[in-house]
Amino acid sequence: MQKELIQYLSEFITPERLTLFEKTLEQRTSYLTVVLEDIFQPQNASAVLRTCDCFGIQNVHIIENRNEFTVDTEVAMGASKWLSLHKYNRKTQNSLDAIKKLKKEGYRIVATSPHLNDHLLPDFDLTTGKAAIVFGSELPGISEAILNEADEFLKIPMYGFTESFNISVSAAIVLYQLSQKLREHPSINWKLSEQEQDEIKTAWLRSTIKKSSLLEKRFLKERGIKKGRNS
């Protein structure tokens, strides 16, 4: 049914836009995902989302403990519209809730820290499984809760006096190198599954088409399907 809905909604966008959707989806991945813990500066939050979109990282997990995640639209350039954002803000232990969910989905938790040196970025092994790369809050960094649950630690090589990069710069460096390395590796199946692509394409169509909910209701009505069933 979802493919029929995609075909139906696709009639309401230009062929050029549909081709762009399909071309972009071919380069999207969920093999790598990003975790942002308690980011409080909108410019940093937005810059990381923009980086994720540019490097084809589809899923971003946002932990809100003390700080609400706010997007600066001028910096993000609409990137959040094309990403799948997963927020954790309803529990007292949001960080642990996020980590538990990601581990259940088969991700190894990789904490980025300038003080820990288990793996330097150029040496990071992508072949051992999916990775959730965690970036911490601007001042305190990654919380002890996540550091204690992390499977691996990742460090960017540095050669100056300053001990760390700004979070948006750090994310850009890490995601550029890992996404390039991922695409160049012949043995890693990094692309989205057909089901994942269909789900994302449906979301993109819904967010792009004006009054898409009304069109979807018409689609369901024509097929005699009550709203609320899987589409």
Mean pLDDT in consecutive groups of 10 residues from the start of the chain, 231 residues: 93 96 97 94 90 97 88 73 93 91 97 84 96 91 93 93 90 97 95 97 95 91 66 44
Residue 158 gets which letter from DSSP? -
pLDDT value, residue 190 = 97
- Residues sharing a CB contact under 8 Å with residue 171, sequence separation 6 or more, in sequence order: 34, 47, 48, 51, 52, 135
Judge contact between 14 and 45, C-beta under 8 A. Answer: no
Residue ranges for the known binding site are 112, 156
Tell me what pLDDT residue 231 has.
44
Torsion of Cα atoms, 19 then 21 then 24 then 1, to 10° = -110
CA atoms of 115 and 164, how far apart (whole Å)? 9
Question: Do 52 and 77 form a contact (C-beta atoms < 8 A)?
Answer: no
Task: Supply the pTM of this predicted model.
Answer: 0.91
Give the span between the Cα atoms of 201 and 194, in whole angstroms: 10
Q: Which residues contact 3 (CB under 8 A, 6 or more apart)?
A: 198
Whole-number Cα distances in Å, 146 to 36, 89, 98, 116: 11, 15, 9, 14
What is the fold of 32-184? Answer: Alpha/beta knot (3.40.1280)
Residue ranges, comma separated, of all CATH 3.40.1280.10 domains in the chain are 32-184
- Model pLDDT for residues 149-174, shown as the tens digit of each residue: 999 999 999 999 888 889 999 999 99
Q: What integer pLDDT is reported at residue 60 of this predicted model? A: 97
Residue 25 CB partners (closer than 8 Å, separation 6+): 192, 197, 200, 201
Nearest to 179 by CA among 50, 57, 83: 57
Cα separation of 96 and 33, whole Å? 16
Binding residues for S-adenosyl-L-methionine: 112, 156
